[in-house]
Structure 1
Amino acid sequence: MVIRKSFLFLILISLVLGKVYCQVGINTNLPDSAVALDINAQTSISFGGMQIPLVTPAQQASINTTASSDGTLVYVNYTTQQCLEIYDGVTNSWQQIHCSTVTSQLIISEYIEGGGNNKFIELYNGTSSTIDLSTIKLIIFRNGGDFPIGGTDREIFITGSIAPGDTFVIANVLQTEVSASVIDYNVPNAGDPLDFNGDDPVLLTDLSNNIIDVVGIPGTDPGTGYAVDGQDTYLNGIRRLASITDPNASWNTSEWTAHPENDFSHLGTR
C-alpha cells in the first residue's frame, strides 16, 4: 500500500459497550464508525505492543468499510495462518502486512463408519482461537477416488465455527442413533451426502484444496478398508489418540485407535 505523504500516524484504540476500535489514523485523528467490531466472543493479539482485534474472515468481510476506514487494523484468523491486515481507503481493499503460520490446526478426531446412514466425522480445534468452518471443506474419495481431485470425489462445505479445545460433529442427516444435541452439522442427503464406507478416504482441506488432515490414502482403493489398530475402517470407527493435536496431510495409522461399528460414546468429546 502506498501511504500518502501527508499523514498523521495515530493509534486509536478504545473500548465502548463491548466493542473494539482499532485504527491507524491517516490524515485524520477521528476513528471511523466502520472500525467498531462486535467481538465479545473474540480475543486480541499483541503485535508491536498494540492489541489488535482477532477476527474471522467472515467478521472482516462484514465490516462496513468506507474511504475514511483507511488504516483500520485487524488480525484475521485463517485456517492455516493469522494475518495482520490494514484497510487501504484508496484502493478499497485489505492489505496484508504480516502473516504467521498457525502451528496447531483443526484435525479429524473421529471417523465412524456405522451401519446404514450412521456416518460421522468429528473435528477438533486444538488451537487457542475460534476457527471459522467456512474456510475449510471435507472431500470424500469414493472407493479411493481420483487424486488429484476428480469426478468421483465429493465436496462437503460446512457452516459454523469451533471454539478452542472444542469438537464439531458432522453427520448424515438421515442418521438415527445419535442424539441431535451431539450433532453440530447435518449434511443434507441431496447433492453430496455424508455416506462414506471404509474404503472411502476423507480429506480436510482449505478452499484451495490444500490438504490439512486426512483419513486413508486418496487415489488408492484399499479393498474393504484401511487397517487400523488390528481392525479396519470398514464397519468400524476410528478415533484419534488424545496425544495428537496437530493435523497430518499424510495418512498415519499409528495416530488412531479402532472401536466397534456403532460405538458413538465418544462423539462430541475429546
Structure 2
Amino acid sequence: MLFILFFSVSLAFSQTIIISQYTETNSGSSPKGIELWNPTTTDIDFSVTQLDIEQGTNGGTPSNVFSLNTGTLAAGEVLVVGTSDMDVSANCECCSYAEEPFQFNGDDALIIKLNGVITDVFGSPGSDPGSSWSGGGIETRNDNIQLQSGITTGDTDGWTDPSERFEFVAVGSDLTGFGAPTDGCPATTTCEITNFMITQEPACGDPPNDDASFFEVSFT
C-alpha cells in the first residue's frame, strides 16, 4: 500500500503541462486560445490528473473557465484549447483539440493547473496592465506568440514581461504554429524483430502431440 501511494505521488509530481502558444484578437472576436505542451517523457491521463484553466479578468480573482477529465496527452505532444476556429487537429501529427469559447483579452491572466497544482501562469494574476502585458517587442494583445525554444518548464509565479518566455509568430488571427510543439513532434519508436524462434515441447509425461504443446517465442 505504501509503495503504491509513493508511486502515485511521484508520478503526479513528475507530470507537468505548460503554455507553448497563445493567440488573442480584438474583444468579442476570434480566434482566441492557447496551446498546451507536455514537455515530459510521461503521458498525462486526464482521468487521473484533471486539467483546469483559470482566468483572471481585468486583474480580478481567477476563476475556472475550462476543465478536462478525459483523454490522454502523450509525452511531447500538444493540446490546443480554444474557439471553434482553432481546431487544427486534422492537419497536425502530434496534437489534439478541445473547444472552449474563450473570451479573454490581452490584459487577462491565465492559470494552468494539473491535478489541482499550478503548472504555469500567463501574465500576472491580480493585476491589470491596461490593455496588455508587453516588453521586448512582445505583446499579449492581438498577437500570436509562442514559447521560446529551450524553455521546458512553467512559470508558476507569473510575469509582467512576455518576452521573458515568448516570441512573436504572427498577428492574432493567423494560427501559424498551433498544433506543432516548439521542439517538434516526438520521434516515433520502432521495434524490429531480427530473430524469431519457435520451440515445441510435450506436456510433462505425455507423448508429443499437438494438444499438449506450447510455443515459446523469443526475439531480439
Matched to 2:143, the amino acid is N
Matched to 1:269, the amino acid is A
Q: Give the Cα separation in 2 of the matches to 1:257 and 1:132.
A: 30
Aligned partners of 1:132 and 1:160 also within 8 Å: yes
Q: SS state of the match for residue 211, structure 1?
A: strand
Superposition TM-score, scaled by structure 2 size: 0.67
Show the counterpart of 1:142.
Answer: 57
Q: Is 2:145 the counterpart of 1:238?
A: yes
What are the ranges of 5 or more consecutive residues in structure 2 without an aligned counterpart?
182-220
Moved over 6 A (4+): none
Show the counterpart of 1:226.
Answer: 133
Question: CA deviation digits over 1:12-40, x for unaligned, max 9?
Answer: xxxxxxxxxxxxxxxxxxxxxxxxxxxxx
Show the counterpart of 2:202.
Answer: none
Identity of aligned residues (%): 28
Q: Give the Cα separation in 1 of the matches to 2:135 and 2:180.
A: 21
Show the counterpart of 1:199.
Answer: 107
Q: SS state of the match for residue 238, structure 1?
A: strand
1:228 Cα deviation from its structure 2 partner: 4.1
Q: How does 1:30-49 map to 2 (within 5 A)?
A: none
Superposition TM-score, scaled by structure 1 size: 0.55
1:251 Cα deviation from its structure 2 partner: 2.3
The structure, 1 or 2, with the larger RCO (C-alpha pairs under 8 Å, 6+ apart) is 2
Matched to 1:206, the amino acid is L
1:265 Cα deviation from its structure 2 partner: 1.1
Q: SS state of the match for residue 58, structure 2?
A: helix
Paired residues, number:
166
RMSD of aligned alpha carbons: 2.4
Q: Is 2:165 the counterpart of 1:255?
A: yes
1:131 Cα deviation from its structure 2 partner: 0.6
What are the ranges of 5 or more consecutive residues in structure 1 without an aligned counterpart?
2-82, 86-95, 188-192
Aligned partners of 1:107 and 1:246 also within 8 Å: yes
1:104 Cα deviation from its structure 2 partner: 6.1
Q: How does 1:73-222 map to 2 (within 5 A)?
A: 84-85=3-4, 96-98=5-7, 99-100=9-10, 102-103=13-14, 105-115=16-26, 116-134=29-47, 135-146=50-61, 149=62, 153-158=63-68, 159-173=70-84, 175=85, 179=88, 181=90, 184-187=97-100, 193-208=101-116, 210-222=117-129
Aligned partners of 1:141 and 1:154 also within 8 Å: no
Matched to 2:129, the amino acid is P
Q: Give the Cα separation in 1 of the matches to 2:114 and 2:176.
A: 29
1:109 Cα deviation from its structure 2 partner: 0.5
Q: Give the Cα separation in 2 of the matches to 1:118 and 1:142.
A: 18
1:179 Cα deviation from its structure 2 partner: 4.4
